[in-house]
Structures are given as C-alpha cells and as structure tokens.
C-alpha cells in the first residue's frame, strides 16, 4: 500500500493517523469517565484516582501530538474525491462533521491541558518528561474551572460527532455498499474510482468549515456545565476592636501526590487589638471551614476524612501578638489553634508595617495535620503531605 493518498483511497500514513487517533480519543473518554467515577475515601482509592487521571492526561496528550502531526501530513496530501458528489447535502454534512472532528481533536486535549496548567498545584501529572504546565497560563482556580466546564461539555460534543461519523460510515457500508470504508480500512486497489468532481467552487467547503466551527463555538462560553465558583467573599470586618480588616487573603498549602496544592478560605474574620507603641496585642481569627476552595480536591478536604466541615464548621486561632525580638525580626502571634475540634499550640511569625491608621501584615506558618487528627487514614506522606502551610496577607484600618 502506498504511503500517500490517491484520488481513490487514503494511504498508509493517513490510515495510521486516523485509527490511532480514533483509538486514543475513545480511550481518553473512557478513562476520563472512569477516573471521575472512582470512589474516594481511603488512601489507596485516592492513589487510584491520581493514577487514572495521569493515564487519562497522558493518552490525551499523545492524541494531541498525533493530531497535530496528522494535520500537517493531511495538508501535504491529495484528498480522496467524494464518491457521491451529486448528493450535495450529504457530502456537505460529512465534510462539516469532519471539520468539527478536526477541531475537536485539538480543542479537547488543549482544554484538558489548559485546565491542568491553571489548576493551583495541579493534582496528577502527565506521564511524560516535557514539563507539566503550558507557559503563560496563570495558576488560577476560577480559570481552571472554566476550562474544566468546556472540557466536561466538550467530550459530549466530540462523542456525538464521532457517533454521527460512525453512523455515516455504517450507512455507506450497509445501505449504500459503496466502498467508502475500503478507502480508509480496506485494500486501496479495490476502492471504487470516484466520479469526476463537479465544479462547485470553494463555497461548500467554506460552509462546511463554518458549520464545524460553529459547533465548537457553541461550547466555548464555557461555565454552563458547572457553576463557576463565587469569588471569595473575603473577610468580614470586625469593628470596635482596634483594627478592622479591610482586605485579606487566608490561604493553605498542602502537598498531594508530591505536588503543592494551594487553597483559600473565602470567609473568615479577625478581631485585632494592637498597640503600635508597645508593638503587642492580641488577635482572634475565626474561619468558616466550608468556604475553603482547594484545587480539584476541595470537597475531599472538607469531607469527614480531613477537615470535616460538617462536624467542625469553624476553625479558630486565638493568640497574643508579641513584639519582634530584634529590628529585623518578625512579630509573632503565639496562641492556640483549633482545627477539626483539636486544639494545638501554634506560633505564626508575621511582618507588619504601620503607616498612620493603616496597617499591612503578612505571615506564614507550618502545622502538622496529624496533630489535629486530620487525614488519620492517610498515613503515607507521598499521598497527602503531613506539613500544611497556612498563610495570610491583610490590610487593616485603625477604628
């Protein structure tokens, strides 16, 4: 069989690309659905989910590379002529579906790669040595959600297109018995000689391409498939206690399967008393645990194995603010940290600058989740790290 296409049949290279990409896309859909439906609860189950997503992503990336090579190859090839050029509508429909499949072959893995790249921390690696994240894509949970919404809706569209395409191929094989399948799967010598192409100009091709594009533009607005997370409502200011928080971020960082995953609490409030003269005071922070967003694993983190937001809706830090030991040293908030019903002593170093009635502070500490009995069933650090970073940044105004 010839490597190149002819007017009658696809050549060896086009067939190799067609069937490998077809198998990889179907495999990506099946593994993606399988991974999303695996039970999560124990450490072994979490590991199985990571592995399934890693395989899913890798299969998808190989499909992307082959699809790009396939497009480059196709551009250098003659296209086998339509077998029934007089059935204009049918030919146009088949071509429109082909266009939509070409686009789908690119945008499905690309949206997957984008959602993976934007996910804060990522959560299971693509199994290849060429790096994980696309350059220039910021780590942004909301952006990742938008690509995920496209990805989740997009696979339905791609699967629908493949179904139409296969039904078309079956119609040719069973009803028309016209040898269309032979052009892609059989002996090219047996492929029928297509009639000469009528002069139809470029317009039908442009229409088919636009129809194929329109299908994907319909998916593009994105976040219809799942609700977009609300922007963090931020801390509720507390008046009458010295300093009121005007803006602030409270984040946590955990390691999962070796990757750092960053999360944020959307709802918390701080009651701050601080005397700039003595550089000391006290602070109480109350955090609404259910307001945590944490990459793709927020729900697991808030579930019974970890923070158990249902049983322990509030986390609390009650501390004395101690002055810096020396000029270049940070302040220290030293006190009791209560998470998931367990209270532990904790010290949070932070930098503070006060200018008139405005104060800016930022600090970070590490705690060990085992001290709070969090994730007790996850005894292996390579699945969920023991150390958890807790950080904040805020600006406050004197009352």
17 in contact with ligand HEM (CB under 6 A): no
Give residue 125's Cα distance to chain centre: 12
Nearer to ligand HEM by Cβ, of 108 and 294: the residue is 108
145 in contact with ligand HEM (CB under 6 A): no
Nearer to ligand HEM by Cβ, of 177 and 326: the residue is 177
Dihedral angle sign, alpha carbons of residues 85, 89, 91, 96:
positive
Nearer to ligand HEM by Cβ, of 61 and 348: the residue is 61
Structure tokens at 181: 């399948």
211 in contact with ligand HEM (CB under 6 A): no
Nearer to ligand HEM by Cβ, of 191 and 359: the residue is 191
Nearer to ligand HEM by Cβ, of 57 and 255: the residue is 57
Count of residues of this chain found to bind ligand HEM when the rule CB under 6 A is applied: 43
56 in contact with ligand HEM (CB under 6 A): yes
Alpha-carbon distance of 354 to 396, in angstroms, equals: 9
**Which segment (16-24, 231-239, 298-306, 323-331) binds ligand HEM by CB under 6 A?**
16-24
Among 103, 126, 252, 348, binds ligand HEM (CB under 6 A): 126
Nearest distance from C-beta of residue 42 to ligand HEM, angstroms:
20
Nearest distance from C-beta of residue 145 to ligand HEM, angstroms:
9
Nearer to ligand HEM by Cβ, of 115 and 361: the residue is 115
152 in contact with ligand HEM (CB under 6 A): yes
**Which segment (102-110, 209-217, 305-313, 330-338) binds ligand HEM by CB under 6 A?**
102-110
102 in contact with ligand HEM (CB under 6 A): yes
Nearest distance from C-beta of residue 206 to ligand HEM, angstroms:
16
112 in contact with ligand HEM (CB under 6 A): yes
Structure tokens at 124: 């299971």
Q: Which of residues 215-244 bind ligand HEM (CB under 6 A)?
A: none
Beta-carbon count within 10 A of 395 CB: 15
Q: Which of 311, 305, 303, 297 is nearest to 375 (CA)?
A: 305
Structure tokens at 223: 């976040």
274 in contact with ligand HEM (CB under 6 A): no
Query: Interface mask (CB under 6 A) for ligand HEM, residues 178-207, using x and -?
Result: --xx-xx-----------------------
**Which segment (162-170, 193-201, 209-217, 254-262) binds ligand HEM by CB under 6 A?**
162-170
73 in contact with ligand HEM (CB under 6 A): no
Nearest distance from C-beta of residue 194 to ligand HEM, angstroms:
9
61 in contact with ligand HEM (CB under 6 A): yes
Give residues in contact with ligand HEM (CB under 6 A).
14, 18, 21-22, 25, 28-29, 32-33, 36, 53, 56-57, 60-61, 63, 74, 79-80, 98, 101-102, 105, 108-109, 112-113, 115-116, 126, 148, 151-152, 155, 158, 162, 165-166, 169, 180-181, 183-184
């Amino acid at each position: 069989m010839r490597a190149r296409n002819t007017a009658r049949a696809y050549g060896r290279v086009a067939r190799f690309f067609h069937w490998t990409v077809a198998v990889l896309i179907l495999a990506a859909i099946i593994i993606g659905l399988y991974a999303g439906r695996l039970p999560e609860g124990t450490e072994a189950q979490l590991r199985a989910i990571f592995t399934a997503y890693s395989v899913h992503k890798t299969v998808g990336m190989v499909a992307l590379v082959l699809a790009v090579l396939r497009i480059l190859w196709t551009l250098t090839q003659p296209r086998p002529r339509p077998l029934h050029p007089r059935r204009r509508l049918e030919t146009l429909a088949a071509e429109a579906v082909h266009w939509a499949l070409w686009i789908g072959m690119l945008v499905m893995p690309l949206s997957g790669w984008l959602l993976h790249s934007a996910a804060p921390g990522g959560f299971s690696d693509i199994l290849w040595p060429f790096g994980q994240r696309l350059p220039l894509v910021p780590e942004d949970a909301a952006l990742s959600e938008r690509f995920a919404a496209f990805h989740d809706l997009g696979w339905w569209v791609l699967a629908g297109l493949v179904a139409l395409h296969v039904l078309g191929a079956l119609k040719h094989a069973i009803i028309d018995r016209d040898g269309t399948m032979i052009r892609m799967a059989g002996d090219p010598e047996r492929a029928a000689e297509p009639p000469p192409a009528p002069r139809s100009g470029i317009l039908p091709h442009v229409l088919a391409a636009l129809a194929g594009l329109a299908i994907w533009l319909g998916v593009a607005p994105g976040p219809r498939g799942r609700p977009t997370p609300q922007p963090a409502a931020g801390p509720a200011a507390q008046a009458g206690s010295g300093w009121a928080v005007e803006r602030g971020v409270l984040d946590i960082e955990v390691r999962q399967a070796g990757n750092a995953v960053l999360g944020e609490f959307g709802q918390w409030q701080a009651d701050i008393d601080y005397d700039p003269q003595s550089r000391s005071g006290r602070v109480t922070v109350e955090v609404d645990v259910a307001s945590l967003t944490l990459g793709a694993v927020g729900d697991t983190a808030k579930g019974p194995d970890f923070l158990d937001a249902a049983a322990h809706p509030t986390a609390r830090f009650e501390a004395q603010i101690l002055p810096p030991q020396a000029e270049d040293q940070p302040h220290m908030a030293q006190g009791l940290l209560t998470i998931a019903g367990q209270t532990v002593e904790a010290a949070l170093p932070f930098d503070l600058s006060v200018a008139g009635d405005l104060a800016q502070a930022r600090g970070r500490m590490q705690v060990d989740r085992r001290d709070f009995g969090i994730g007790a069933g996850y005894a292996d650090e390579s699945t969920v790290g023991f150390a958890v970073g807790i950080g904040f940044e805020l600006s406050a105004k004197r009352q």
